[in-house]
């Protein structure tokens, strides 16, 4: 125990600010602890798994995630299909727009504008992206792919068509970072594959193979850490690797992640996974009892820009920002 240190006002870098925040209270300190633990994971060569949920790409977070991939600040990404679709959309030259939540949605619908809280997008442009993904699917062999295999091929295609170097899916392809989307059908990419199926091209996504592939990555890691942006399917898909290892070994092999960070606005008392604590995960064996655990109850669009910039400074990557 030691005294708190009130934050004084002076010119500082982001990294210097988060270091000062280690001596304040509440979620400010938790944010600073997240920076500290994430930096330690990279320095100690821990295999880092990131779960990405929510509408992070429409909200403007895609270049931050791409930066993490390009500089190997994460080793495996598990995302919702929606985030990948919106990333493809922007990589192909389209945009999301700053709007407002105080709007007549009936009028927006008449104008062909889709709303994600205070972000707008043109439905017609979304449909054009759907067809680009559909046309790509039509070129594939009619067989089963893990979602990571499909994403690698789609990333290669998006690079050729759009050429965006700041894309999540293109960065994952170019830097050989596995990108899993375990609920791919719950997205516009899933709809594109449905369109391909209606046209006679049966491209199947084998999510059971997803489990095998990501579990093999975990099993082959000397030490692993998890970072969750929100919760949902990406969080559980990564968490359950520990259970998969235990089941496959007949209970002889135990595994729990050594480090765990989450940025979420959900609360644990409702019983949902997105808000559940890492202490709860310990009861399942998904996270080790002595793991470094930091949960920050904060909007990820506030936390990510601060945390990524601070980590980049801590690791001497500021020149690349």
Q: Which residues, other chains included, contact 142 with Cβ-Cβ below 8 Å and sequence gap of 6+?
A: 201, 202, 203
Looking at CATH, the fold of the domain delimited by 14-81+153-184+207-320 is given as Deoxyhypusine Synthase (3.40.910)
125 is a catalytic site residue: no
Mind listing the pLDDT tens digit for each residue in 239-297?
999 999 989 888 777 789 999 999 999 999 999 999 999 999 999 999 999 999 999 99
Other C-beta atoms lying within 10 Å of the C-beta of residue 110: 9
Q: How far is CA 50 from CA 79, 156, 169, 178, in A?
A: 8, 21, 14, 11
Task: Spell out the per-residue pLDDT of the chain, length 321, in tens.
Answer: 889 999 999 999 999 999 999 999 999 999 999 999 999 999 999 999 999 999 999 999 999 999 999 999 999 999 999 999 999 999 999 999 999 999 999 999 999 999 999 999 999 999 999 999 999 999 999 999 999 999 999 999 999 998 788 999 999 999 999 999 999 999 999 999 999 999 999 999 999 999 999 999 999 999 999 999 999 999 999 999 999 998 988 877 778 999 999 999 999 999 999 999 999 999 999 999 999 999 999 999 999 999 999 999 999 996 656
Domain chopping of the chain, boundaries: 14-81+153-184+207-320
- Catalytic residue from among 30, 63, 235, 286: 286
| Pairwise CA distance, residues 160 & 135, whole Å | 14
Q: What's the CA gap between 204 and 284, in Å, rounded? A: 32
For 135, half-sphere exposure in the C-beta direction (CA atoms, 13 angstrom radius) is 9
Strand, coil or helix: 210: helix
| 243 closest CA partner among 260, 225, 256 | 256
């Amino acid at each position: 125990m030691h005294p708190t240190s009130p934050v004084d006002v002076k010119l500082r870098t982001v990294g210097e600010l988060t270091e000062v925040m280690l001596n304040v209270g509440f979620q400010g300190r938790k944010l600073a602890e997240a920076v500290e633990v994430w930096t330690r994971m990279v320095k100690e060569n821990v295999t880092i798994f990131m779960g990405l949920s929510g509408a992070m790409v429409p909200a403007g977070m895609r270049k931050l995630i791409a930066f993490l991939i390009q500089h190997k600040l994460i080793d495996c990404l598990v995302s919702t299909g929606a985030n990948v679709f919106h990333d493809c959309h922007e990589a192909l030259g389209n945009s999301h727009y700053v709007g407002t939540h105080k709007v007549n949605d009936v009028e927006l619908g008449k104008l062909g504008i889709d709303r994600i809280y205070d972000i707008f997008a043109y439905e017609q442009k979304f449909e054009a992206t759907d067809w680009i993904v559909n046309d790509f699917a039509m070129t594939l062999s009619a067989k089963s792919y893990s979602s990571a295999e499909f994403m690698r091929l789609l990333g290669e295609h998006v690079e050729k068509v759009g050429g965006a170097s700041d894309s999540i899916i293109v960065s994952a392809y170019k830097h050989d970072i596995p990108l899993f989307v375990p609920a791919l059908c719950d997205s516009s990419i899933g709809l594109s594959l449905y369109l391909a199926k209606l046209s006679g091209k049966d491209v199947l996504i084998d999510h059971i193979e997803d489990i095998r592939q990501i579990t093999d990555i975990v099993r082959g890691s000397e030490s692993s850490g998890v970072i969750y942006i929100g919760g949902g399917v990406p969080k559980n898909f990564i968490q359950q690797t520990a259970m998969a290892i235990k089941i496959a070994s007949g209970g002889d092999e135990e595994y729990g992640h050594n480090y765990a960070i989450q940025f979420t606005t959900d609360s644990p008392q409702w019983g949902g996974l997105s808000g559940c604590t890492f202490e709860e995960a310990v009861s399942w064996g998904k996270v080790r009892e002595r793991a470094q655990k930091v949960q920050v109850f904060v909007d990820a669009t506030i936390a990510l820009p601060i945390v990524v910039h601070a980590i980049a400074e801590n690791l001497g990557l500021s020149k690349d920002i």
